[in-house]
Chains A and B, each alone.
Chain A
């Protein structure tokens, strides 16, 4: 059965701390792994990773994928209160006869950054 597991489920840190969020997966026909940030409303896209060992970076956020060990991490350095959100990991897999990929989401990590 395809699954995506995120850890920890929740995390509380102080401003300025560095955090690492984890995502492991068991998916056949893997295409890519994606990270989303969900504040009170809709998830917003952060990163898409397809190759092992290549870090994607955007400001204080960075992510890397290990396709051998089937996991990804999302790092946030110098955290700010605005980073408080649920971070979702999703894995894209090719199953559909129409060419669309299925997207399997983890349940998310809730990050709270205290001033």
Chain B
């Protein structure tokens, strides 16, 4: 399978614990995105990388959240001191930057998500 993969698929943790999720994008994709989806809602943008540079962060990304993409390939999303309100599906997506501004409209491909439950 050459799509976007995420690990783990499910994570149950106790309030106050730290958790880390991993996303492996499609191999040639240089852009990577994290979204959060709560029950009954659509995904909400969290942050975006182009190669290893984190270019945009949402106000939803509190200081307990940190994302990295150290080598411009896989990415990790860490949540410190988890709270019950962090329970959600965390989705990763990737896309390929077009070769020109006119061609830079490629779609984002989504992974299956990591479902986090904070008890």
A, B assembled together:
no
